[in-house]
Amino acid sequence: MLVDSHCHLDFPDLAEDLDEVVARAHRAGIGHMVTICTHVTRFERVLATARRFDTVDCTVGIHPHEAGTEPETSAETLVAMADDPKVIGFGETGLDFFYEHSPRAAQERSFREHIRAARVADLPVVVHTREADDDTVRILQDEARAGAFPGLIHCFSSGLDLAEKALELGFMISISGIVTFKKAEALRETVRAVPLDRLLVETDAPYLAPVPKRGKRNEPAFTALTAAVVAEVKGVTPDELATATTDNFYRLFTKARRPAAAAAAE
């Protein structure tokens, strides 16, 4: 079994045939999916999507792109929204200085509130970082001094330095379809260096479809294509990679429960 640790099943790109999207994922061996919240104002839609399927959970949070337009949301509010059994983490949050759709100060303020929620609830924070590695590390290290919190860097596309600093904080590293791209050798080198027990896999669907589906709509079933490349890079079998990344997922997302069929198979 594989877990797609990060997708957006509530997005319109997937909503029109969502039942079949989830069914295709199951047929491809994807036993669990996490649909990620990007707008706190759309959280109820995200939660409703998770509730439709036994094999789907969700997060609650505000994407850094939306930090300047979504309501300022406190850690206490995020924790209260995560009370539902289907909500297993916070985010995605973080910093994006590539597009700068939101002011940097708003992004940092929102990021810190998500981290504080993760610390209070002991649930992972899902971190997005683009062209902001130094500030991401600064905030993570600063917040860690106030107390540990679980988390991961999602859709990892940075260098080894960020990976090492995240690992020092106890974070996991989630790998998307970018690892399959021809020009992504630097990322593959980083994947080689990250311990197997700290890796997750994801799609970020409907974005970033892996080779040979690149350019098409991404969906959770394609997690298997990314996982195959990660297994090759790590020098392990696909089954070993699946077992490791799935175990890592449930070790990090402690509120998530293995689907009944997968648990029975074990």
- Domains annotated on the chain, with CATH: 2-258 (3.20.20.140)
- Where b means 16+ CB within 10 Å and e means fewer, 126-143 reads bbbbbebbebbbebbeeb
What pLDDT, on a 0 to 100 scale, did the predictor assign at position 260?
77
Please check if 65 is assigned to a binding site.
no
* Predicted local distance difference test score (pLDDT) of residue 263: 43
In the prediction, which pLDDT does 261 show?
61
pTM of the model: 0.96
Low-confidence ranges of the chain (pLDDT < 70): 261-266
User: Quick one: pLDDT at residue 181?
Assistant: 98
Task: Report the SS3 class of residue 126.
Answer: strand
Residue 32 assigned as binding residue: no
In this prediction, residue 262 carries a pLDDT of: 54
3-class secondary structure, 164: helix
Residue 56 three-state SS: strand
Answer yes or no: are the C-beta atoms of 149 and 107 closer than 8 Å: no
Name the burial class of residue 175, with classes exposed (0-12), middle (13-18) and buried (19+) by CB atoms within 10 angstroms of its CB. Answer: buried
